[in-house]
Structures are given as structure tokens and as C-alpha cells.
Chain A
Amino acid sequence: MSASPQALEFEALKFRRAPVVRTVSVLIGVGLPVLAAAFMVAATSDGSSQIGLKAAAMLTSTGWTGYFAMVGMLLSVGALMGIGFVVCWCFGREFTEKTQACLYALPVSRRRLAYAKFTVILLWSLVLCLVTVALALLAGGIIGLGMPGPEDLVVAGKAWCAGALAALLACPLAVVASVARGYLPGVGGLVLLVVITQVVTAFGTGAWFPYAAPGLWMGMGGPAAAETVSPLQLLLCVPVSVLGIAVTGQWWKNMEISAG
């Protein structure tokens, strides 16, 4: 699973210039820390407003630890949605905009081009999650949480991991966008995944479902449920992602243009 330097350069250039990527970067990188800080303020305010009570219910503990856990919860869902959308767009746009014919008759194989897309998306995702956590740290300081301790930074690291796992889990959506030849079916697949995740979690088996495990680990099902999520259950995200990447690569290698 390697991408040629030319393919990487080409995909990185398209990615950097894409308005969709810029929008999602701002929504996740800035929107999530602001949302987390707002929830934290609402949860810790003295009032008994509806939103304050609901935000307080999301907190797994007090101070920085609870705040970073909330950032992790938001990242596990927000990153899956945002990065998932970018994955669908990156692969599906070649069909929607009918540019897939440009990817034939090249010395660089289409499989390598697909891997280059994944490489660029995953690198961007890791940096984006890091920026999100860093901005969350800044926002936490602004709302008066003081200085975080070493144990708080461990939770910040967990929040980053939850985002990174969500990025890995977004990769299989490329299969839907490629096979259905468009980004909208991929987005449909993303919505379906979120619904399935809710149902599986409601049945109490979320820890074994890779799309639910990162959120549960960050405390979405409460502190007790977070404790039960094992490293093995979290690591299931990796084979799911690798399988999605491999299937997409193989599909891109064999894909043909017969219509249009």
C-alpha cells in the first residue's frame, strides 16, 4: 500500500486547494473547541437552564479532565462526520465531476492514486485533530480552567487518539463513494453508519463496534462504560480502516468507464 511521490504531490495539491477541505478544517479545528468551551461554561454555570443541565450530564469529571473528555467525545463524532465527508468528496468528486477519465493512461496506477488520496487525508486528519486539541487547550485557559496538570494532558492525548481513530474509521466510506460513483452516496453511507452506531450502542454492545468504541472510551456512555472499553476493542478500528483502504485500492485498480 504505497503511493508514488508524483501521485502524492498531485493529490496534496488538489487537497490544499479544495474549498471543502478548508471549510471542514475550520468547522472541526475551530468549531469543536469553541463548542466544547461553551458546553463547559454552560455545565459549570450556577443556573439550572436546560442546556446547562444537559451539558453537565456530558461531563465525566470536573476541571480539565472533564473538559478534555468532552473534547474527545465531540472529536469522536465530529471528526468522523467531517473527515468522512472529506473522504467521500475526495473519492466521489472524480466521478461526479467526470474527471476519472483523466486518471487513466498514466504511468502512475489508479491504485497508487487512491493510496495517495488516503495518505493525504490521514496526514491532514492527524494534524487537524492536534490543532483541535491545542485550540481546546487555549479555549480552556480562556474560560478560566487554569493550568492543566500532567494527568489532564493524558486525557488531552486520549482526545487526540479518539479523533485519529475517527479518521481511520472514515476511510471505508471511500468504498461507497467509489462503487456508487459519487460523493452523495458516500455521505448517505456516513449517515447510515451514525444511525447504526446509535442502535448498537443502545443495545449495549457498542464497545465491540469500532464506530462506537472511541466515543464510549471518551465517556459518551458515562464514566463506568468508558472504563470497560479495552485497547483491543479500540484497535479494531485499524483493521476496519485497512480493509476499507485495500478494497478501495483494488476497486480503483479494476474500475472501468462504461457509461456517460
Chain B
Amino acid sequence: MTTPASLRAERISTALGGLTVLDDVSLNVGPSEIHALVGLNGAGKTTLMRILLGMLTPDLGTAHLTGVRVCAAGERVWSRVGQMLETPFAYPELTARENVYSSARLHGMGRDAAGAAAARALTALSLDHYASRRAGTLSLGNRQRVGLAAALVHGPDVLVLDEPTNALDPRGVVDLRRILQEASRERGAAILVSSHHLDEVARMADRISVLHRGRILGTLQPGSVDLERRFFDLVLQSDLQEQEQ
């Protein structure tokens, strides 16, 4: 039996180059949940995601995927994970189709299944017209779509996406929102998404955590009308407290 999809960060602290980047951060994303992580530049969003994906070992604390510690995660765990951090999976010398197909193969899919899944993922992200074009010749937005298709092609139920709507046009944002909501509803996926844009994540997330200077300041309800004000209240309050100390 497969364990339910989940992502968990437990009291994670880490410093890079002598600077504290994450300070006692805990986060839990359960099955069928889209959890957004918002914060200003340099808040620590990407670092937290790197730790959750095993790209970085924290100084303190632990990260878990589907109940398994990331440092002990094996083939079975990783085959359930889709991610897009830093640069999208879009090698410039490969076509859009080859990139997405390669991602499916690396996630353990057979050749036929990978080919069919790649075609579906390209269609879902409106990339049919660009399937045979080299990723290096695509626009930034379409390369982002290729990266998203590569992250989603194998039907993962744990997803970590760092600023996935960057460079996407309005249609891309709508496509992505639909795909993530379907994954959450139909596959019970646990999804962690980071963004700078509150209005954007408010439309897709079930919960929003505010990360500022390496600390989780609180959570926001996506349905709130004055989301932006609440966000800045939390951030300014934290800055004031820090100045007083």
C-alpha cells in the first residue's frame, strides 16, 4: 500500500556563508493540499525547497517526503516526486518533446508509456505546436512550460515548484492552476508552490505561509480580501521586532 503524499519540514535551521537563511522552520503539506510559500526576495523559499528535495542538508532539523526522511529516500519515493527549481528541465539542444520524454524515462516510465505521457503533458501545457522545436529556440515562457511538463509528466503526487508562474503568459497561469488543482483533487497530491505574487497563489492555494528572513511568520487564508495588507503587516511587524531587539 502506498503511503499518502506529504511534505514535512521539521524545525529546519541552516546558514550559508555565515548568514542564517532558515531559522527553526516547520512546514507541513498534507495530501490533496496546495500550500503556497510567499515571501520577499531572499526570504529563504528556494533554500527550504532545496532542503525538501535533498539538494542541501540543513544544519538542524529534518525533511520528510511521504513520511520518509529525505536523506534516506530511495527510488520509490523519488519516483513520486516532481519538481522545478532554479532552471526548468529544458536542455537547449533537445526538443520540447525530448526533454519531457527524458524526464518521464528518468522517473522510471517505460518507453511507450513515457512517449504517451509526454504527449499528454505537452498538450496540457499548450505546447503541441512547439513539441518538435529545440528548447534553446523557445521563448522564456515556453521553456518554463517545458520545465513544468517535465515536472508533471510522470503524474507525481508530491510536487515542489519554485515560482512556477515566472515568465508564463495568462493562459499558462490558468493551465498551471488547472493542472495543479486536478492533481490535488484527483491524485491526492501534496503540492508546495513558492511565489512573490500573492494574488496569483491566492487563486490556487489552500493555505499560504509567509516566510520572511528565514522564519515562518504565519499563515494567510487565500480567501481573505485584504491579503496584501495582512502580508505586509506580518512582514513589517517582524522587521520592527527585529529592530527593537
Residues of chain A having any CB pair with chain B under 8 Å: 6-7, 9-10, 13-14, 17-19, 97-99, 101-102, 104-108, 256-260
Contacts and interface: CB of A to CB of B under 8 A. Distances in A.
Nearest to A260: B86
B198 interface: no
A14 B79 contact: no
Interface stretch (B102-110, B120-128, B180-188, B218-226): B102-110
A259 B16 contact: yes
B37 interface: no
Nearest to A103: B106
Query: Which of B16, B78, B91, B103 is packed against the most chain A CB atoms within 10 Å?
Result: B91
Contact of B54 (A17, A99, A104): A104
B55 A13 contact: no
A155 B81 CA distance: 54
Contacts of B50: 257-258
Query: Which of A13, A18, A102, A104 is packed against the most chain B CB atoms within 10 Å?
Result: A102
A105 B102 contact: no
B163 interface: no
Contacts, number: 73
Contacts of B94: 13-14, 17
Query: Which of A17, A99, A107 is packed against the most chain B CB atoms within 10 Å?
Result: A107
B105 A10 contact: yes
A6 B105 CA distance: 6
B16 A105 contact: no
Contacts of A106: 78, 106-107
Contacts of B78: 105-107
A7 B106 contact: yes
Contacts of B160: 105
Contacts of A97: 87, 92
Interface in B48-78: 50, 53-57, 75-76, 78
Query: Which of B54, B78, B87, B106 is packed against the most chain A CB atoms within 10 Å?
Result: B106
A15 to B, nearest CB: 9
B93 A17 contact: yes
A257 B87 contact: no
12 contacts: A6-B108, A7-B106, A10-B106, A17-B93, A98-B87, A101-B55, A102-B88, A105-B78, A105-B83, A105-B160, A107-B79, A256-B55
Contacts of A14: 91, 93-94
Contacts of B157: none
Nearest to A4: B106
B132 to A, nearest CB: 13
Interface string B88-116: 11011110001000110111100000000
B91 A256 contact: no
When A and B form their complex, which 9 residue pairs have the shortest distance between CB atoms, in order from nearest? A17-B93, A101-B86, A107-B75, A98-B87, A102-B89, A257-B55, A107-B79, A105-B53, A107-B78
A258 B15 CA distance: 10
A24 to B, nearest CB: 15
Contacts of A104: 53-55, 83, 85
Contacts of A99: 87, 89, 91
A84 B125 CA distance: 39
Contacts of A98: 86-87
A258 B16 contact: yes
Given A6-B108, A97-B87, 13 more contacts: A6-B105, A14-B91, A17-B94, A98-B87, A101-B86, A102-B87, A102-B89, A104-B54, A104-B85, A106-B106, A106-B107, A107-B75, A107-B78
A106 B92 CA distance: 20
A90 B106 CA distance: 18
B54 A105 contact: yes
Nearest to B114: A6
Contacts of B57: 256
A260 B89 CA distance: 17
Contacts of A102: 87-89, 103, 150
A232 to B, nearest CB: 41
Nearest to B73: A105
Contacts of B85: 101, 104
A153 to B, nearest CB: 38
A14 B79 CA distance: 22
A99 B92 CA distance: 10
A258 B19 CA distance: 12
Contacts of A10: 102, 105-106
